[in-house]
Amino acid sequence: MLFLGLYTAEYERTFVLDELRQVMSRFGRYERYDCSSKDPPSPQELLRRLAPADVALTGWPTPRFPEALVDLPDRRLKYICHLAGAVGYFLPRRYLEAGILCTNWGDRGIWPFAEGALALMLACLKATHRIGRHMRTSPGTAFPFPHPSPTLRGKRVGFVGYGAIARTLTGMLRPMLCRFGVYDPYAQDLPEGVGRWASLEDLFAESDIITLHCGLTPETTGMIGRDLLERMKPHAICINTARGKVVREGELIEFLRRRPDVTAGLDVFETEPLPADSPLPHMDNVICYPHCVGGGNATFSRLAAEAAARNLQAFCTGQPLQYVITPEKYDRMT
């Protein structure tokens, strides 16, 4: 059995740890095809590399898979073990429709990403970016908080999208006695104390903090623009740790320039990496992260590698897999 990794050497060092290598060595042979976004392989070369593989290991650097592979009469690929979360950027839906299995790291990334969204909320409320500049330019003088109530206690938090990360974030916010409302047509079985907004318009008008957790789909692309932003309350906060293209970025920039009382905490952008000429990092009411709000450390990498090792072991021995990406889940994923 051939296990083919499609990522960079750095990604391999981070996620393809001993337990994962041991499973692959028991059941076959592992190779890595180096994939760099600076010099991506052609679809033809990628097809040639993938054709003999039984299992593909993928990650953030993985290029778009060629759809032609699905139609090969002698296709061997049966399983894609994704060492990350979202798969839509590299995997055409047809692979799943053809019965090729795909798993991701499941709940391994939930806590760090929820924690990152919480960190952005607190940073916006506590004006940490402004205080840092204040201390560099006016040390020893009082700092005037831009918000009348720089605390999470009692705030109304509106969730746009309510998947696993948003649900975990809700639990983190409960000790602050926050109130919760959700806009998500697909969310079912909301936890106790979590209400449902009938419309995005109501959510934006009534929430003190708006936090985006929806997937990027044709329905959500450009979903949030001037018409919704204009409804935000004085001193409201908008957090986006989902996908940049959910928001019309030009309209967000124009709105934030006119509404300095509103603060945005952004981990994602329409174009990534964020262009050097973007005004967002220089705006006084914006905190920017370079799509790393979930952090990343040895503990997180090991948890992801352990989940992948268990799934590879299960696949090679005919056992059920965890964290399977179905076509329906694919359609709603971030």
Res 133: pLDDT: 86
The position carrying tokens 């799943």 is 96
How far, in Å, CA of 283 to CA of 230, rounded? Answer: 18
The residue with greater pLDDT, 70 or 294, is 70
Residue 159: partners with Cβ closer than 8 Å, 6 or more residues away: 166, 169, 170, 180, 181, 182, 183, 184, 211, 213
Confidence category of residue 297, pLDDT binned at 50, 70, 90: low
Catalytic site includes residue 272: yes
Looking at the fold, whether 279 and 320 belong to one and the same domain comes out as: no
pLDDT beyond 80 at 149: no
How far, in Å, CA of 185 to CA of 243, rounded? Answer: 18
pLDDT average, residue stretch 183-202: 96
Spatial CA neighbour of 103 closest among 77, 78, 81 = 81
Contact 165, 114 (CB under 8 A): yes
Range name among 18-27, 259-268, 288-297 with the lowest pLDDT average? 288-297
Looking at the fold, whether 256 and 119 belong to one and the same domain comes out as: yes
Burial (0-12, 13-18, 19+ Cβ within 10 Å), 49: middle
- Say what the pTM is: 0.82
pLDDT beyond 80 at 147: no
pLDDT beyond 90 at 75: yes
Looking at the fold, whether 53 and 190 belong to one and the same domain comes out as: no
Looking at the fold, whether 266 and 132 belong to one and the same domain comes out as: yes
Residue 280: partners with Cβ closer than 8 Å, 6 or more residues away: 253, 266, 269, 274, 286, 288
Res 201: pLDDT: 98
How far, in Å, CA of 91 to CA of 80, rounded? Answer: 9
How far, in Å, CA of 146 to CA of 234, rounded? Answer: 11
pLDDT average, residue stretch 217-241: 96
Which domain range does residue 129 map to?
A: 109-288
Contact 294, 113 (CB under 8 A): yes
Contact 66, 14 (CB under 8 A): no
pLDDT beyond 80 at 299: no
pLDDT average, residue stretch 239-268: 97
Q: Is the dihedral of CA 142, 148, 152, 157 positive or negative?
A: negative
Looking at the fold, whether 158 and 278 belong to one and the same domain comes out as: yes
Looking at the fold, whether 198 and 310 belong to one and the same domain comes out as: no
Res 260: pLDDT: 95
Contact 15, 41 (CB under 8 A): no
Confidence category of residue 334, pLDDT binned at 50, 70, 90: low
Q: Give per-residue pLDDT as tens, 100-127.
A: 999 998 877 788 899 999 999 999 999 9
Q: For the chain, give the longest Cα–Cα distance.
A: 73
Looking at the fold, whether 308 and 239 belong to one and the same domain comes out as: no
Res 300: pLDDT: 74
Q: Out of 253, 268, 288, pick the residue that ends a domain.
A: 288
Res 96: pLDDT: 97
Q: Give per-residue pLDDT as tens, 90-100.
A: 999 999 999 99
Looking at the fold, whether 263 and 124 belong to one and the same domain comes out as: yes
Out of 243, 248, 249, 310, which one is annotated catalytic? 243
Res 57: pLDDT: 98
Domain count, the chain: 2
Looking at the fold, whether 122 and 60 belong to one and the same domain comes out as: no
Looking at the fold, whether 253 and 154 belong to one and the same domain comes out as: yes
How far, in Å, CA of 68 to CA of 236, rounded? Answer: 48
Q: Which two tokens stand for residue 255?
A: 């709105």
Catalytic site includes residue 243: yes
Confidence category of residue 296, pLDDT binned at 50, 70, 90: low
pLDDT beyond 90 at 51: yes
Out of 21, 32, 291, 302, which one is annotated catalytic? 291
What is the domain-level CATH number for residue 19? 3.40.50.720
Range name among 25-39, 75-89, 133-147, 191-205 with the lowest pLDDT average? 133-147
Alpha-carbon separation of residue 71 from 48, 74, 98, 195, 326 (angstroms): 14, 9, 9, 46, 19
Looking at the fold, whether 9 and 97 belong to one and the same domain comes out as: yes
* Partners of residue 285 on adjacent β-strands: none
Compute the mean pLDDT over every residue in the chain, rounded to the nearest whole number.
Answer: 93
Confidence category of residue 22, pLDDT binned at 50, 70, 90: very high
Alpha-carbon separation of residue 38 from 6, 34, 60, 97 (angstroms): 14, 11, 13, 30
Res 293: pLDDT: 87
Looking at the fold, whether 152 and 134 belong to one and the same domain comes out as: yes
